[in-house]
A = this chain, B = another copy of it.
Amino acid sequence: MSNLGITPRATDYSEWYNDLVVKAGLADHSGVRGCMVIKPHGYAIWENMQRALDDMFKATGHVNAYFPLFIPKSYLSREAAHVEGFAKECAVVTHYRLKNDPDGKGVVVDPDSKLEEELIIRPTSETVIWNTYAKWIQSYRDLPLLINQWANVVRWEMRTRLFLRTAEFLWQEGHTAHATWDEAEQEALTMLDAYRRFAEEWMAVPVLTGVKSEGEKFAGADHTYCIEALTQDLRCLQAGTSHHLGQNFAKAFDVKFQTAEGREEYVYATSWGVSTRLIGTLIMAHSDDKGLVCPPRLAPVQVVFVPMGKEEALRAATIEMADRLAGEMRALGIRVHVDKRDKESPGFKFNDWELKGACLRVELGPRDLEAGTCVVARRDTGEKSTLSLEALVAETPGMLETMQKALYDRALEFREANTHRVDTWEEFERMFEGEAGPGFVLAHWDGTTETENAITEKTKATIRCIPLRPLDPGDDAPGACVLTGKPSARRVVFAKAY
Protein backbone atom coordinates (compact mmCIF):
# COMPACT_ATOMS: atom_id res chain seq x y z
CA MET A 1 0.00 0.00 0.00
CA SER A 2 1.33 3.43 -0.92
CA ASN A 3 0.57 6.35 1.35
CA LEU A 4 -2.34 7.18 -0.89
CA GLY A 5 -3.85 3.80 -0.20
CA ILE A 6 -3.66 2.36 -3.70
CA THR A 7 -2.80 -1.32 -3.86
CA PRO A 8 0.13 -1.80 -6.30
CA ARG A 9 -0.71 -3.52 -9.56
CA ALA A 10 1.71 -6.34 -8.88
CA THR A 11 -0.02 -7.14 -5.59
CA ASP A 12 -3.57 -7.27 -6.90
CA TYR A 13 -4.47 -5.72 -10.24
CA SER A 14 -8.17 -5.80 -9.56
CA GLU A 15 -7.77 -4.07 -6.18
CA TRP A 16 -5.41 -1.54 -7.77
CA TYR A 17 -8.11 -0.66 -10.31
CA ASN A 18 -10.85 -0.27 -7.75
CA ASP A 19 -8.65 1.76 -5.38
CA LEU A 20 -7.58 4.06 -8.17
CA VAL A 21 -11.12 4.71 -9.40
CA VAL A 22 -12.39 5.51 -5.92
CA LYS A 23 -9.40 7.45 -4.55
CA ALA A 24 -8.80 9.51 -7.68
CA GLY A 25 -12.41 10.67 -7.38
CA LEU A 26 -13.55 9.08 -10.63
CA ALA A 27 -16.47 6.98 -9.40
CA ASP A 28 -17.84 5.34 -6.32
CA HIS A 29 -20.16 2.52 -5.40
CA SER A 30 -23.62 3.84 -4.58
CA GLY A 31 -26.12 2.67 -2.01
CA VAL A 32 -28.11 1.23 -4.91
CA ARG A 33 -27.19 -2.33 -5.80
CA GLY A 34 -24.94 -2.56 -8.86
CA CYS A 35 -25.12 1.16 -9.64
CA MET A 36 -22.20 3.56 -9.49
CA VAL A 37 -21.96 7.25 -8.83
CA ILE A 38 -19.81 8.93 -11.46
CA LYS A 39 -17.97 11.58 -9.48
CA PRO A 40 -17.11 15.00 -10.94
CA HIS A 41 -13.52 14.10 -11.89
CA GLY A 42 -14.65 10.96 -13.72
CA TYR A 43 -17.63 12.69 -15.27
CA ALA A 44 -15.30 15.38 -16.64
CA ILE A 45 -13.50 12.66 -18.63
CA TRP A 46 -16.88 11.46 -19.91
CA GLU A 47 -17.81 15.01 -20.95
CA ASN A 48 -14.57 15.30 -22.92
CA MET A 49 -15.23 11.93 -24.54
CA GLN A 50 -18.80 12.92 -25.36
CA ARG A 51 -17.74 16.15 -26.97
CA ALA A 52 -15.16 14.46 -29.20
CA LEU A 53 -17.43 11.57 -30.18
CA ASP A 54 -20.42 13.80 -30.77
CA ASP A 55 -18.35 15.97 -33.10
CA MET A 56 -17.31 12.84 -35.01
CA PHE A 57 -20.92 11.66 -35.29
CA LYS A 58 -22.08 15.03 -36.55
CA ALA A 59 -19.19 15.28 -38.99
CA THR A 60 -20.45 12.00 -40.51
CA GLY A 61 -24.01 13.33 -40.90
CA HIS A 62 -25.69 12.07 -37.74
CA VAL A 63 -28.12 13.96 -35.54
CA ASN A 64 -29.15 13.34 -31.93
CA ALA A 65 -32.61 12.49 -30.65
CA TYR A 66 -34.12 10.95 -27.53
CA PHE A 67 -36.35 7.88 -27.18
CA PRO A 68 -38.22 6.56 -24.13
CA LEU A 69 -36.49 4.86 -21.20
CA PHE A 70 -39.31 2.30 -21.04
CA ILE A 71 -39.86 -0.58 -23.41
CA PRO A 72 -43.23 -2.35 -23.30
CA LYS A 73 -42.58 -6.03 -22.66
CA SER A 74 -44.25 -7.07 -25.91
CA TYR A 75 -41.73 -5.08 -28.01
CA LEU A 76 -38.94 -7.29 -26.72
CA SER A 77 -40.61 -10.42 -28.00
CA ARG A 78 -40.75 -9.21 -31.59
CA GLU A 79 -37.22 -10.02 -32.75
CA ALA A 80 -36.56 -13.64 -31.87
CA ALA A 81 -32.76 -13.63 -31.60
CA HIS A 82 -32.81 -10.31 -29.76
CA VAL A 83 -35.15 -11.55 -27.05
CA GLU A 84 -33.06 -14.70 -26.63
CA GLY A 85 -29.83 -12.79 -26.16
CA PHE A 86 -30.92 -9.61 -24.56
CA ALA A 87 -34.20 -9.46 -22.81
CA LYS A 88 -33.41 -11.49 -19.75
CA GLU A 89 -31.52 -9.65 -17.01
CA CYS A 90 -33.57 -6.47 -17.03
CA ALA A 91 -35.19 -4.10 -14.55
CA VAL A 92 -38.98 -4.50 -14.79
CA VAL A 93 -41.47 -1.78 -13.86
CA THR A 94 -44.75 -3.32 -12.72
CA HIS A 95 -46.46 -0.51 -10.76
CA TYR A 96 -46.83 3.25 -11.04
CA ARG A 97 -47.80 4.46 -7.59
CA LEU A 98 -46.74 4.37 -3.96
CA LYS A 99 -48.98 5.10 -1.03
CA ASN A 100 -48.56 5.71 2.66
CA ASP A 101 -47.99 2.55 4.60
CA PRO A 102 -51.22 1.88 6.54
CA ASP A 103 -48.95 1.07 9.51
CA GLY A 104 -47.49 4.57 9.26
CA LYS A 105 -44.02 3.37 8.31
CA GLY A 106 -43.05 5.18 5.14
CA VAL A 107 -44.49 4.10 1.81
CA VAL A 108 -45.59 0.89 0.15
CA VAL A 109 -46.37 0.02 -3.45
CA ASP A 110 -50.03 0.60 -4.19
CA PRO A 111 -51.35 -2.78 -5.41
CA ASP A 112 -54.09 -0.94 -7.35
CA SER A 113 -51.44 0.65 -9.58
CA LYS A 114 -50.38 -2.53 -11.35
CA LEU A 115 -49.59 -1.92 -15.02
CA GLU A 116 -51.49 -3.90 -17.62
CA GLU A 117 -48.26 -4.49 -19.48
CA GLU A 118 -44.93 -4.43 -17.69
CA LEU A 119 -42.31 -1.93 -18.82
CA ILE A 120 -38.65 -2.88 -19.18
CA ILE A 121 -35.92 -0.32 -18.53
CA ARG A 122 -34.07 -0.23 -21.87
CA PRO A 123 -31.01 -2.49 -21.95
CA THR A 124 -30.54 -1.12 -25.49
CA SER A 125 -33.08 0.70 -27.65
CA GLU A 126 -33.43 -1.18 -30.94
CA THR A 127 -36.99 -2.28 -30.22
CA VAL A 128 -38.42 1.05 -29.07
CA ILE A 129 -36.60 2.91 -31.83
CA TRP A 130 -37.68 0.58 -34.63
CA ASN A 131 -41.22 0.77 -33.35
CA THR A 132 -40.89 4.55 -33.89
CA TYR A 133 -39.07 4.33 -37.24
CA ALA A 134 -42.06 2.41 -38.56
CA LYS A 135 -43.95 5.72 -38.35
CA TRP A 136 -41.16 7.81 -39.82
CA ILE A 137 -40.10 5.77 -42.82
CA GLN A 138 -42.34 5.44 -45.87
CA SER A 139 -40.22 6.25 -48.88
CA TYR A 140 -36.62 6.03 -50.09
CA ARG A 141 -36.59 9.80 -49.60
CA ASP A 142 -36.83 9.28 -45.82
CA LEU A 143 -33.56 7.35 -46.01
CA PRO A 144 -30.90 7.20 -44.79
CA LEU A 145 -32.01 7.99 -41.25
CA LEU A 146 -28.88 8.66 -39.21
CA ILE A 147 -29.74 9.12 -35.53
CA ASN A 148 -27.74 8.87 -32.34
CA GLN A 149 -28.92 8.93 -28.74
CA TRP A 150 -26.99 9.71 -25.53
CA ALA A 151 -28.71 7.82 -22.75
CA ASN A 152 -28.59 5.64 -19.67
CA VAL A 153 -29.29 1.91 -19.99
CA VAL A 154 -29.75 -0.87 -17.46
CA ARG A 155 -28.63 -4.51 -17.53
CA TRP A 156 -29.02 -6.41 -14.33
CA GLU A 157 -25.43 -7.51 -13.73
CA MET A 158 -24.67 -9.72 -10.77
CA ARG A 159 -20.92 -9.09 -10.63
CA THR A 160 -20.12 -5.45 -11.13
CA ARG A 161 -16.94 -3.43 -11.50
CA LEU A 162 -16.82 0.37 -11.61
CA PHE A 163 -17.09 1.68 -15.20
CA LEU A 164 -16.51 -1.77 -16.72
CA ARG A 165 -19.70 -3.50 -15.69
CA THR A 166 -22.51 -1.84 -13.75
CA ALA A 167 -26.27 -2.32 -13.72
CA GLU A 168 -26.82 1.21 -15.01
CA PHE A 169 -24.35 2.87 -17.34
CA LEU A 170 -24.20 5.81 -19.72
CA TRP A 171 -23.64 5.37 -23.41
CA GLN A 172 -24.47 6.50 -26.89
CA GLU A 173 -26.34 4.30 -29.31
CA GLY A 174 -26.54 5.07 -32.99
CA HIS A 175 -29.50 3.63 -34.90
CA THR A 176 -29.54 4.06 -38.65
CA ALA A 177 -31.82 2.99 -41.47
CA HIS A 178 -30.77 2.48 -45.06
CA ALA A 179 -32.19 1.55 -48.44
CA THR A 180 -29.58 -1.08 -49.29
CA TRP A 181 -27.42 -3.74 -47.66
CA ASP A 182 -24.31 -2.10 -49.07
CA GLU A 183 -25.10 1.27 -47.59
CA ALA A 184 -25.78 -0.23 -44.16
CA GLU A 185 -22.52 -2.17 -44.39
CA GLN A 186 -20.66 1.02 -45.23
CA GLU A 187 -22.29 2.77 -42.25
CA ALA A 188 -21.34 0.00 -39.82
CA LEU A 189 -17.74 0.15 -41.05
CA THR A 190 -17.63 3.96 -40.99
CA MET A 191 -18.69 4.04 -37.36
CA LEU A 192 -16.31 1.23 -36.46
CA ASP A 193 -13.55 3.35 -37.91
CA ALA A 194 -14.76 6.41 -35.98
CA TYR A 195 -14.48 4.32 -32.80
CA ARG A 196 -11.01 3.13 -33.75
CA ARG A 197 -9.85 6.67 -34.41
CA PHE A 198 -11.35 7.86 -31.15
CA ALA A 199 -9.63 5.09 -29.19
CA GLU A 200 -6.30 5.66 -30.85
CA GLU A 201 -6.22 9.44 -31.33
CA TRP A 202 -8.06 10.55 -28.18
CA MET A 203 -7.66 7.72 -25.68
CA ALA A 204 -4.17 6.79 -26.92
CA VAL A 205 -5.31 3.16 -26.85
CA PRO A 206 -4.46 1.01 -29.88
CA VAL A 207 -7.31 -1.33 -30.73
CA LEU A 208 -7.85 -4.32 -32.94
CA THR A 209 -10.76 -4.00 -35.35
CA GLY A 210 -12.54 -7.13 -36.34
CA VAL A 211 -15.76 -9.01 -36.70
CA LYS A 212 -17.27 -11.13 -33.93
CA SER A 213 -17.80 -14.85 -34.31
CA GLU A 214 -21.40 -16.10 -34.53
CA GLY A 215 -21.24 -17.02 -30.87
CA GLU A 216 -20.16 -13.56 -29.74
CA LYS A 217 -22.20 -11.34 -32.05
CA PHE A 218 -25.01 -9.02 -30.91
CA ALA A 219 -28.37 -10.71 -30.46
CA GLY A 220 -30.32 -9.61 -33.52
CA ALA A 221 -27.39 -8.64 -35.73
CA ASP A 222 -26.34 -10.10 -39.04
CA HIS A 223 -22.79 -9.47 -37.95
CA THR A 224 -21.01 -7.39 -35.34
CA TYR A 225 -17.82 -5.36 -35.71
CA CYS A 226 -15.83 -4.44 -32.65
CA ILE A 227 -12.77 -2.66 -31.33
CA GLU A 228 -10.74 -4.58 -28.75
CA ALA A 229 -8.15 -3.14 -26.39
CA LEU A 230 -5.49 -4.80 -24.25
CA THR A 231 -5.19 -4.07 -20.52
CA GLN A 232 -2.00 -4.03 -18.44
CA ASP A 233 -2.98 -7.38 -16.92
CA LEU A 234 -3.08 -8.77 -20.44
CA ARG A 235 -6.79 -9.20 -20.75
CA CYS A 236 -8.95 -8.02 -23.58
CA LEU A 237 -11.52 -5.25 -23.23
CA GLN A 238 -14.27 -4.85 -25.80
CA ALA A 239 -14.42 -1.08 -26.13
CA GLY A 240 -17.08 -0.55 -28.79
CA THR A 241 -19.32 -2.41 -31.22
CA SER A 242 -20.94 -1.62 -34.54
CA HIS A 243 -23.67 -3.95 -35.77
CA HIS A 244 -25.03 -4.57 -39.22
CA LEU A 245 -28.58 -5.62 -38.34
CA GLY A 246 -29.64 -6.58 -41.85
CA GLN A 247 -33.43 -6.50 -42.20
CA ASN A 248 -34.03 -8.26 -38.89
CA PHE A 249 -35.54 -5.35 -36.98
CA ALA A 250 -37.29 -3.96 -40.05
CA LYS A 251 -39.07 -7.30 -40.42
CA ALA A 252 -39.84 -7.54 -36.70
CA PHE A 253 -41.38 -4.04 -36.66
CA ASP A 254 -42.66 -4.08 -40.25
CA VAL A 255 -40.64 -1.13 -41.52
CA LYS A 256 -40.95 -1.06 -45.30
CA PHE A 257 -40.16 1.72 -47.71
CA GLN A 258 -41.05 2.48 -51.26
CA THR A 259 -38.01 2.40 -53.53
CA ALA A 260 -37.39 4.99 -56.26
CA GLU A 261 -38.78 2.38 -58.65
CA GLY A 262 -41.97 1.99 -56.62
CA ARG A 263 -41.24 -1.41 -55.05
CA GLU A 264 -41.84 -2.09 -51.36
CA GLU A 265 -38.79 -3.28 -49.44
CA TYR A 266 -37.68 -3.78 -45.89
CA VAL A 267 -35.18 -1.30 -44.54
CA TYR A 268 -31.57 -2.22 -43.63
CA ALA A 269 -30.28 -1.19 -40.24
CA THR A 270 -27.19 -0.62 -38.16
CA SER A 271 -26.62 0.15 -34.51
CA TRP A 272 -23.40 1.06 -32.75
CA GLY A 273 -22.40 2.09 -29.29
CA VAL A 274 -19.71 2.99 -26.82
CA SER A 275 -20.21 3.61 -23.12
CA THR A 276 -18.66 4.81 -19.86
CA ARG A 277 -16.75 1.53 -20.12
CA LEU A 278 -14.32 3.56 -22.22
CA ILE A 279 -13.25 5.31 -19.01
CA GLY A 280 -12.31 1.95 -17.53
CA THR A 281 -10.47 1.07 -20.73
CA LEU A 282 -8.49 4.30 -20.57
CA ILE A 283 -7.58 3.75 -16.91
CA MET A 284 -6.49 0.16 -17.48
CA ALA A 285 -4.35 1.12 -20.47
CA HIS A 286 -2.18 3.88 -19.02
CA SER A 287 -2.39 4.29 -15.25
CA ASP A 288 0.26 3.27 -12.73
CA ASP A 289 0.71 2.63 -9.02
CA LYS A 290 0.65 6.35 -8.30
CA GLY A 291 -2.78 6.77 -9.84
CA LEU A 292 -4.44 7.93 -13.02
CA VAL A 293 -2.44 8.56 -16.16
CA CYS A 294 -4.78 10.28 -18.59
CA PRO A 295 -4.13 11.12 -22.23
CA PRO A 296 -3.95 14.92 -22.48
CA ARG A 297 -6.70 15.24 -25.06
CA LEU A 298 -9.21 13.81 -22.57
CA ALA A 299 -7.68 14.88 -19.24
CA PRO A 300 -9.91 17.06 -17.03
CA VAL A 301 -6.74 18.80 -15.78
CA GLN A 302 -4.00 19.07 -18.39
CA VAL A 303 -1.79 21.37 -16.37
CA VAL A 304 -1.75 21.95 -12.62
CA PHE A 305 0.23 24.78 -11.07
CA VAL A 306 1.59 24.25 -7.58
CA PRO A 307 2.68 27.68 -6.39
CA MET A 308 4.93 27.44 -3.31
CA GLY A 309 6.52 29.69 -0.68
CA LYS A 310 6.59 29.30 3.07
CA GLU A 311 6.08 32.97 3.82
CA GLU A 312 2.73 34.53 3.04
CA ALA A 313 4.18 37.28 0.81
CA LEU A 314 6.32 34.88 -1.22
CA ARG A 315 3.39 32.56 -1.67
CA ALA A 316 1.23 35.45 -2.84
CA ALA A 317 3.81 36.23 -5.51
CA THR A 318 4.01 32.68 -6.84
CA ILE A 319 0.21 32.42 -6.81
CA GLU A 320 -0.04 35.66 -8.75
CA MET A 321 2.37 34.39 -11.37
CA ALA A 322 0.59 31.02 -11.56
CA ASP A 323 -2.73 32.77 -12.07
CA ARG A 324 -1.28 34.87 -14.84
CA LEU A 325 0.25 31.94 -16.67
CA ALA A 326 -2.87 29.83 -16.14
CA GLY A 327 -4.95 32.60 -17.65
CA GLU A 328 -2.75 32.65 -20.72
CA MET A 329 -3.05 28.87 -21.03
CA ARG A 330 -6.84 29.01 -20.71
CA ALA A 331 -6.89 31.46 -23.57
CA LEU A 332 -5.21 28.74 -25.65
CA GLY A 333 -7.91 26.27 -24.65
CA ILE A 334 -5.76 24.38 -22.16
CA ARG A 335 -7.54 22.91 -19.13
CA VAL A 336 -5.56 24.23 -16.22
CA HIS A 337 -5.90 24.42 -12.44
CA VAL A 338 -3.99 26.41 -9.85
CA ASP A 339 -3.78 24.55 -6.54
CA LYS A 340 -3.99 27.29 -3.91
CA ARG A 341 -4.82 25.10 -0.92
CA ASP A 342 -2.95 26.57 2.02
CA LYS A 343 -3.09 23.71 4.51
CA GLU A 344 -1.47 21.09 2.29
CA SER A 345 2.25 20.68 1.69
CA PRO A 346 3.74 20.71 -1.83
CA GLY A 347 4.55 17.01 -1.39
CA PHE A 348 0.94 16.21 -0.61
CA LYS A 349 -0.19 18.18 -3.62
CA PHE A 350 2.30 16.43 -5.93
CA ASN A 351 0.96 13.05 -4.83
CA ASP A 352 -2.63 14.21 -5.05
CA TRP A 353 -2.28 15.41 -8.64
CA GLU A 354 -0.38 12.28 -9.64
CA LEU A 355 -3.30 10.34 -8.23
CA LYS A 356 -5.79 12.47 -10.16
CA GLY A 357 -3.80 12.34 -13.39
CA ALA A 358 -2.88 15.95 -14.15
CA CYS A 359 -0.68 15.61 -17.24
CA LEU A 360 1.85 18.33 -16.47
CA ARG A 361 2.68 19.69 -13.03
CA VAL A 362 4.26 23.13 -12.91
CA GLU A 363 6.17 23.74 -9.68
CA LEU A 364 6.68 27.40 -8.97
CA GLY A 365 8.67 28.46 -5.89
CA PRO A 366 10.05 31.84 -4.82
CA ARG A 367 13.51 30.96 -6.12
CA ASP A 368 12.03 29.88 -9.46
CA LEU A 369 10.26 33.20 -9.65
CA GLU A 370 13.50 35.06 -9.02
CA ALA A 371 15.29 33.03 -11.67
CA GLY A 372 12.41 33.42 -14.10
CA THR A 373 12.01 29.65 -14.38
CA CYS A 374 9.75 26.82 -13.28
CA VAL A 375 9.97 23.05 -13.03
CA VAL A 376 7.61 20.99 -15.19
CA ALA A 377 7.01 17.33 -14.31
CA ARG A 378 5.38 15.00 -16.81
CA ARG A 379 2.88 12.58 -15.29
CA ASP A 380 3.60 9.50 -17.40
CA THR A 381 7.41 9.47 -17.26
CA GLY A 382 7.98 11.47 -14.08
CA GLU A 383 10.56 13.40 -16.11
CA LYS A 384 11.28 16.89 -14.78
CA SER A 385 12.60 19.80 -16.80
CA THR A 386 13.33 23.42 -16.02
CA LEU A 387 11.71 25.96 -18.33
CA SER A 388 11.83 29.71 -18.50
CA LEU A 389 8.57 31.30 -17.43
CA GLU A 390 8.51 33.16 -20.71
CA ALA A 391 8.60 29.97 -22.76
CA LEU A 392 6.23 27.91 -20.60
CA VAL A 393 2.88 28.84 -22.10
CA ALA A 394 4.02 28.57 -25.69
CA GLU A 395 5.64 25.19 -25.09
CA THR A 396 2.78 23.62 -23.21
CA PRO A 397 0.69 22.48 -26.21
CA GLY A 398 3.75 20.73 -27.64
CA MET A 399 4.52 19.00 -24.33
CA LEU A 400 0.92 17.78 -24.12
CA GLU A 401 1.07 16.47 -27.68
CA THR A 402 4.35 14.72 -26.95
CA MET A 403 2.81 13.00 -23.95
CA GLN A 404 -0.31 12.05 -25.95
CA LYS A 405 1.85 10.40 -28.58
CA ALA A 406 4.16 8.75 -26.04
CA LEU A 407 1.20 7.10 -24.31
CA TYR A 408 -0.02 5.68 -27.59
CA ASP A 409 3.42 4.48 -28.63
CA ARG A 410 4.00 2.82 -25.28
CA ALA A 411 0.61 1.10 -25.39
CA LEU A 412 1.22 -0.08 -28.94
CA GLU A 413 4.63 -1.44 -28.04
CA PHE A 414 3.09 -3.22 -25.05
CA ARG A 415 0.43 -4.77 -27.24
CA GLU A 416 2.93 -5.89 -29.84
CA ALA A 417 5.11 -7.43 -27.14
CA ASN A 418 2.06 -9.33 -25.90
CA THR A 419 0.64 -10.57 -29.16
CA HIS A 420 1.50 -14.21 -29.80
CA ARG A 421 1.03 -16.66 -32.61
CA VAL A 422 0.36 -20.17 -31.43
CA ASP A 423 0.06 -23.30 -33.55
CA THR A 424 -0.23 -26.23 -31.15
CA TRP A 425 -2.90 -27.04 -28.62
CA GLU A 426 -0.29 -27.72 -25.97
CA GLU A 427 1.19 -24.26 -26.32
CA PHE A 428 -2.30 -22.71 -26.47
CA GLU A 429 -3.33 -24.33 -23.21
CA ARG A 430 -0.11 -23.29 -21.52
CA MET A 431 -0.65 -19.70 -22.62
CA PHE A 432 -4.00 -19.56 -20.88
CA GLU A 433 -2.95 -21.41 -17.73
CA GLY A 434 -2.28 -18.48 -15.40
CA GLU A 435 -4.79 -16.27 -13.63
CA ALA A 436 -3.77 -13.23 -15.68
CA GLY A 437 -4.22 -13.33 -19.43
CA PRO A 438 -1.46 -13.98 -21.98
CA GLY A 439 -2.35 -10.96 -24.11
CA PHE A 440 -3.64 -11.57 -27.62
CA VAL A 441 -3.16 -15.06 -29.01
CA LEU A 442 -3.54 -15.46 -32.76
CA ALA A 443 -4.40 -19.00 -33.63
CA HIS A 444 -6.24 -20.95 -36.27
CA TRP A 445 -9.82 -22.00 -35.71
CA ASP A 446 -12.06 -24.21 -37.81
CA GLY A 447 -14.90 -21.66 -37.81
CA THR A 448 -17.48 -23.69 -35.89
CA THR A 449 -19.31 -22.61 -32.73
CA GLU A 450 -18.74 -26.10 -31.31
CA THR A 451 -14.97 -25.69 -31.44
CA GLU A 452 -15.22 -22.12 -30.13
CA ASN A 453 -17.21 -23.35 -27.13
CA ALA A 454 -14.88 -26.27 -26.53
CA ILE A 455 -11.85 -23.98 -26.50
CA THR A 456 -13.55 -21.60 -24.07
CA GLU A 457 -14.55 -24.45 -21.79
CA LYS A 458 -11.02 -25.82 -21.66
CA THR A 459 -9.11 -22.51 -21.32
CA LYS A 460 -11.51 -19.62 -20.57
CA ALA A 461 -10.14 -18.04 -23.75
CA THR A 462 -12.74 -16.54 -26.05
CA ILE A 463 -12.53 -15.43 -29.64
CA ARG A 464 -12.33 -11.64 -29.38
CA CYS A 465 -12.53 -11.02 -33.09
CA ILE A 466 -11.67 -12.09 -36.57
CA PRO A 467 -9.38 -9.21 -37.59
CA LEU A 468 -10.45 -7.07 -40.54
CA ARG A 469 -6.85 -6.80 -41.67
CA PRO A 470 -4.00 -9.20 -40.85
CA LEU A 471 -1.86 -7.86 -37.98
CA ASP A 472 1.16 -9.44 -39.62
CA PRO A 473 1.37 -10.59 -43.23
CA GLY A 474 0.57 -14.25 -43.07
CA ASP A 475 -2.14 -13.97 -40.40
CA ASP A 476 -4.72 -14.36 -43.13
CA ALA A 477 -3.10 -17.41 -44.69
CA PRO A 478 -4.94 -20.73 -44.25
CA GLY A 479 -3.87 -23.22 -41.59
CA ALA A 480 -5.09 -25.95 -39.25
CA CYS A 481 -7.39 -25.34 -36.25
CA VAL A 482 -5.41 -25.26 -33.02
CA LEU A 483 -7.86 -27.64 -31.34
CA THR A 484 -9.33 -29.85 -34.06
CA GLY A 485 -6.71 -29.62 -36.78
CA LYS A 486 -9.48 -28.98 -39.30
CA PRO A 487 -8.93 -26.41 -42.04
CA SER A 488 -8.91 -22.75 -41.00
CA ALA A 489 -9.11 -19.77 -43.33
CA ARG A 490 -7.07 -17.39 -41.18
CA ARG A 491 -5.85 -16.76 -37.66
CA VAL A 492 -8.35 -15.26 -35.20
CA VAL A 493 -7.70 -13.46 -31.93
CA PHE A 494 -8.12 -15.31 -28.65
CA ALA A 495 -7.84 -13.68 -25.23
CA LYS A 496 -9.24 -13.66 -21.74
CA ALA A 497 -11.85 -10.95 -21.68
CA TYR A 498 -13.13 -8.53 -19.09
Contact = CB atoms under 8 A, between A and B. Distances in A.
A390 interface: no
Interface string A98-125: 1100000111010001000011110000
A32 interface: yes
A31 interface: yes
B37 A132 contact: yes
A216 to B, nearest CB: 22
A68 B107 contact: no
A63 B43 CA distance: 9
Contacts of A72: 31-32
A88 interface: yes
Nearest to A120: B98
A407 to B, nearest CB: 25
A179 interface: no
A481 interface: no
A95 B90 CA distance: 8
A151 B152 CA distance: 9
Interface stretch (A73-81, A235-243, A442-450, A453-461): A73-81
Contacts of A106: 73-74, 76-77, 83
Main secondary structure of the interface of A (DSSP, over half): mixed
B83 A90 contact: no
Given A63-B44, A68-B35, A152-B69, A87 B74 contact: no
Interface in A137-162: 141, 147, 151-152, 154, 156
Contact of A92 (B28, B43, B96, B132): B96
A170 interface: yes
A94 interface: yes
Given A28-B135, A43-B63, A90 B97 contact: yes
A47 B66 CA distance: 11
B92 A88 contact: no
Contacts of A98: 73, 76, 87-88, 90, 92, 120
Interface in A21-75: 28, 30-32, 35-40, 43-44, 46-47, 63-75
Contacts of A47: 64
Nearest to A118: B109
Contact of A90 (B39, B89, B96, B119): B96
A316 interface: no
A65, A132, A170 — most chain B CB neighbours (10 Å): A65
A83 B105 CA distance: 11
A65 B90 contact: no
Interface string A355-381: 000000000000000000000000000
A74 B46 CA distance: 31
A391 B28 CA distance: 56
A348 B117 CA distance: 43
Contacts of A107: 73, 76-77, 83, 87
A292 to B, nearest CB: 17
A27 to B, nearest CB: 9
Nearest to A95: B92
Contacts of A343: 141
A281 to B, nearest CB: 18
Contacts of A65: 37-40, 43
B89 A109 contact: no
A126 interface: no
A113 to B, nearest CB: 8
Given A63-B40, A73-B106, A77-B107, A93 B91 contact: yes
A75 B46 CA distance: 28
A288 interface: no
A168 interface: yes
12 contacts: A31-B128, A37-B66, A40-B147, A43-B63, A43-B65, A66-B170, A73-B107, A77-B106, A89-B96, A92-B95, A92-B97, A121-B121
